[in-house]
Amino acid sequence: MSTPTRIRLATPADTPGIEAVLSAAFDADIPGVVAFWREVVGRGLVRAELVAEHDGRVVGHLGLSHAWLDAEPRLVDVLVVGPLSIDPEHQDQGIGSALLDAARTEGARQLAPYLVLEGEGAYYCRKGFVPAHTYGLLPPSDRVAGDDFLASALETREPWMHGRVVYHDLWWESDAIGLFQPA
């Protein structure tokens, strides 16, 4: 009998499973995601990692990393969602939605005003995200398609919190901005 999928915070013991899921989900289309995520972790930019566990195996992963919102009065810490990856054998079972819901809960626990991400608007808007410009948020680069830069506002959001989202240097050094921009 199969056990239900459980969403939880990742532990160091989950690293091999996380990397396997990242590889299975991304390597065919976007090589290098595993190496990039290792660098994000290694530089201490991760604020939380969530995993979906099914029958004792990691079948999904969502990373939350640090960025800033360059609001007029001051910089504000925000969380970047991604990568979100689901083992191909476990896709279309609601795991991505469950990980995104858990990310909102974790973001609220960390008092972040926004979760932001680069991704397919058609998918993420069904999951409660909206184009970031709805909140006056500008993408970190013009290479990010406007409708594919998305945000979810959390409880600590205040009306003055708008402006450009600023990623850490690693995103620029790795040319990892606009990864999901359609060709």
**What pLDDT, in 10s, does the model give residues 131-171?**
999 999 999 998 887 788 999 999 999 999 999 999 999 98
pTM of the model: 0.91
User: Quick check: 1 pLDDT over 80?
Assistant: no
86 Cβ contact partners less than 8 Å away, ≥ 6 residues apart = 21, 25, 52, 59, 60, 95, 96
**What pLDDT, in 10s, does the model give residues 78-122?**
999 999 999 999 999 999 999 999 999 999 999 999 999 998 888
- Of 1-15, 142-156, 166-180, give the range with the top mean pLDDT: 142-156
**At which residue do the structure tokens 């896709």 appear?**
91
Per the CATH hierarchy, to which homologous superfamily does domain 6-173 belong? Gcn5-related N-acetyltransferase (GNAT) (3.40.630.30)
Nearest of 49, 31, 163 to residue 151 by alpha carbon: 163
pLDDT for the residue 4 = 75
pLDDT for the residue 3 = 64
- What is the average pLDDT value for the chain, to the nearest integer? 91
Sorted by where each begins, the domain ranges of the chain are 6-173
In terms of pLDDT, which residue wins out, 172 or 9? 9
End-to-end CA distance of the chain: 44
CA–CA distance, 172 with 68 (Å, rounded to integer): 14
Burial zone of 11 (CB within 10 Å; 0-12 exposed, 13-18 middle, 19+ buried): exposed
User: Quick check: 181 pLDDT over 80?
Assistant: no
pLDDT for the residue 179 = 54
